[in-house]
Amino acid sequence: MARLKTGVLISGSGTNLQALLDHAADPDFPAEIVAVISNRPRAPGLKRAAAARVAARVIDHTEFSDREGFDAALNAALIEAGCEFLCLAGFMRVLSRRFVEAWRNRLVNIHPSLLPSFRGLNAQAQAIAAGVRIAGCTVHFVRAETDSGPIIVQGAVPVLDGDNAQTLAERILAVEHQIYPMALRMIAEGRVRVEGDRVRILGSDSSPDRALIAPCDGGRP
């Protein structure tokens, strides 16, 4: 079966890119990473792409006078690389409505909160400030409004009393690395259906009696 030709957009360290590259290294994984593009020339994630022998490119947003011009260059590069699908992985640029619509339902993002809570920057610090007991991460289809769009997969972690934004971010990041490849696999297998604002996963095995509860009280009710 043909593998889904996937591009990944990054701006920074690229640990989620690494998780996607690691899974895609398995020839049985139904998606392959065919292009990595960074808007920042010094993004450490570029080295991860090179190490995995994936074509990496910089399209520096500071070289464009407006967002439309940058997005058009990005779009052209992705099409040239043969991308059929796109993952944002720590990509710190807002994409224009035109770009988002051109890639509608072929463009996903990962965000370090249980959306729709805590959109925008510093989601983990927002979670700490709000005092939530359960935090997490979300893979979702991208819509023009930042950090919105049909939710595909979420992963939850407890927030501990001693946590700060950094310790919580690390706990969430470990789960991001699990759910992003999982979401891409399900999409590439054709099991993800967008129905209005919601997503239906064909053949998923979520068990209705499994819950994540935090804090835990040693199993006592």
Q: Which residues in this chain contact ligand GRF in the complex, by CB under 6 A?
A: 12-17, 45, 89-90, 110-112, 137, 173, 176
Side chain identity at residue 64, one-letter code: F
Q: How near is the Cβ of 186 to ligand GRF at its closest, in Å?
A: 18
Q: Which of 71, 70, 13, 81 is nearest to 42 (CA)?
A: 13
Q: How near is the Cβ of 98 to ligand GRF at its closest, in Å?
A: 22
Q: How near is the Cβ of 91 to ligand GRF at its closest, in Å?
A: 7
Q: Give the Cα separation of 70 and 80 in Å (integer).
A: 15
For ligand GRF, the closer CB: 71 or 147? 147
For ligand GRF, the closer CB: 166 or 204? 166
Q: Which of 148, 113, 154, 140 is nearest to 194 (CA)?
A: 140
Residue 140 is a catalytic residue = no
Residue whose CB is nearest to ligand GRF in the complex, by number: 90
Q: Give the Cα separation of 199 and 111 in Å (integer).
A: 17
Q: Which residues of 112-137 are buried (b: 16+ CB within 10 A; e: fewer)?
A: bbbbeebeeeebbebbbeeebeebbb
Q: How near is the Cβ of 197 to ligand GRF at its closest, in Å?
A: 21
For ligand GRF, the closer CB: 111 or 143? 111
For ligand GRF, the closer CB: 30 or 90? 90
Q: Give the Cα separation of 195 and 127 in Å (integer).
A: 29
Q: Which one of the listed residues 61, 111, 140, 177 is annotated catalytic?
A: 111
What are the residue numbers of the active site? 111
